[in-house]
Structure 1
């Protein structure tokens, strides 16, 4: 029996997680009539498997899907607790189920073809891309591929840490949480020998909240370590875990590295999400850049341009992140001290816009001036020396 030739599409979205889902939703908002689209992923994402948090102005396409938002957040360090007024911004929480549902609806409206398969190679000849399964068979041919699968950086970085965490969705029979404000960072947690830890609270109501223990560090913990961190943080919050119910558990590991990610590994393959440089090296924050990338891709396709988003962060921000990571990794700057000065010496809106990569050069200088001068100068020198050594070894 003769096999049929592989189908041809204009755009293949490889990976149906957060980045791929946001792209589909964005395409549905713009006029891309006639665009032949395929979604390739072995799993049809659904349900609550992760939670994203981000800041920005109210309004926009995400608002109908939000679980909660806050105009005030708390940051607690050794100097005490400060409540930050984010206006005109707000901090928002988005759970995965409505994102996946919106993507599935968008795929139906766009007439997208669904291919339930794992992708192996992407063979790009400069005109089309052959999307192959793990056995080498051609699943389809695409004019462009948007690849949101996790991928290693182009080369190792000088510093590699991880943002790693565990969160419990806690339900209480009586009011115990303050739904009027979230806890962004609480550094009262015991600090690791190398790295920084903090707690995090996102209340949906006075009886239901996500409580997380997070570390920025070069080594991951085991299950016992995350659970111990969460129990300890719950104690700091005055929560009686015996009276609460753990409804869900969320875990995550996100790279924090100055290693370069290749956002366009071949002429017609574009990477999105962490593999496309959307993760902020100094914090691990990813969602806002993913959302921007999706909108830029959709706008470009609607205008008949190549679906290539801009770099997620300006080059000077990537350099500043590399310096901050080196300072934290060497121990010349303590994590709680670094963030305490950042929030203490800058308006909250500037800090949040900086972390999103949305500040200009003048604001960046103000952020730099708020950092510990001598340790950061040492880190700058170390970073420059590291870059020189790397160039010489490659050259």
Structure 2
């Protein structure tokens, strides 16, 4: 017989742990039994999350660094911006895992099992999960990873990246300024940019991100990192303290197509990665807050990922860069040349008015987006 729980979270990554944290903080769900399943034990620093915010956030106490200023650079401009009332925040993966898991370990009826999931079967009354060691069941399962999906009819690109945390002998970094995007790197018909996140005057994460259809070998990034550190940051002597390597799916796929009655898809599996930028942390936090509303009202059967006009905007952007009508360097270069970061953040947060959206869309050359608009309009 399967071991029974009230809720199971399949995948204890950002979205799964964020949801579990909220459920256990909620007075109405402290007595519900909860199981988290993940093959990884979450004991290493495997990623970094950055996001902008103009308010106090749930996980502010584990912010590793906060910057009041950002810098944008390309072949035409190199400018620093004060982003008040926003702050640019960074949370390390290991700090997030330790913070959430240490709290969950103090909660009753809460189990964490490190095991790979072999099968998820949905019946009329429950969901049965089979792992390599055990079988579990619950009326509701929250699933944060997706199996093989057919993206062939959607726009899809990988944002993949590699970064080095470097320590310089000399104080070379501005600890109050994050380099948000630096496109001064050969684009080679892709979208490539650097970002630099200083922890102090001597230490920073230097990372290159690339938008492309395929993910290259880890060694691909190294010559770019070495050249950027030497030529743009003008650092000749440094120590590589830590490496970061990863990939984020950017797509306009409609994740509401995944049909299930008792499996709620969250995080990457729920389409909560911003299709046109790859930003996920803040969007996932907002969506977990919204999902908690359905849980608290016992209306999980009504839950759906929201689809708004910004989903269509993502389709237009992805179409334009994937078909060679333009590229990310040109688009973001024009945006930062003509608009304030605050206006851009509002648009990327999907918080702007329609007038604000028009301002953003008309900042870059409009013809590539006009062509992409009509292609997407009549595609499906």
**Which category describes the TM-score, using the shorter chain as reference length?**
over 0.9
Partner of 2:335: 342
Work out the number of aligned pairs and report it.
378
Residue 190 (str. 1) matches residue 183 (str. 2): no
The more displaced of 283-292 and 197-206 is 283-292
| Secondary structure of the structure 1 residue equivalent to 2:66 | strand
* 1:25–1:102 CA contact under 8 A, matched in 2: no
* 1:157–1:258 CA contact under 8 A, matched in 2: no
Partner of 1:202: 197
Q: 2:156 & 2:63 partners in 1: Cα distance?
A: 32
Distance 1:269 1:92, change over 3 A: same
Q: 2:43 & 2:15 partners in 1: Cα distance?
A: 14
Residue 300 (str. 1) matches residue 294 (str. 2): yes
The more displaced of 60-69 and 326-335 is 326-335
Partner of 2:210: 215
Deviations 1:275-294 (A, max 9, x none): 11011111111111111222
The more displaced of 75-84 and 179-188 is 75-84
Note the residue ranges of structure 2 that are not aligned, 5 or more in a row. Answer: none
Partner of 2:219: 224
How does 1:252-267 map onto structure 2 within 5 Å? 252-262=246-256, 265-267=259-261
* 2:23–2:30 CA contact under 8 A, matched in 1: no
Note the residue ranges of structure 1 that are not aligned, 5 or more in a row. Answer: 388-395
The more displaced of 335-344 and 297-306 is 297-306
- Select the residue among 268, 273, 282 that pairs with 2:276: 282
- Select the residue among 51, 54, 61 that pairs with 2:48: 51
Distance 1:144 1:248, change over 3 A: same
Residue 246 (str. 1) matches residue 240 (str. 2): yes
Partner of 2:61: 64
* 1:165–1:212 CA contact under 8 A, matched in 2: yes
* 1:189–1:232 CA contact under 8 A, matched in 2: no
Partner of 2:122: 124
Q: 1:214 & 1:28 partners in 2: Cα distance?
A: 35
Compute the TM-score of the two structures, normalised by the length of structure 1.
0.89
Q: CA deviation at 1:307?
A: 8.1
* 1:263–1:270 CA contact under 8 A, matched in 2: no
- Select the residue among 365, 369, 379 that pairs with 1:372: 365
Deviations 1:259-289 (A, max 9, x none): 2224763111011111110111111111111
* 1:121–1:131 CA contact under 8 A, matched in 2: yes
- Select the residue among 176, 179, 183 that pairs with 2:175: 179
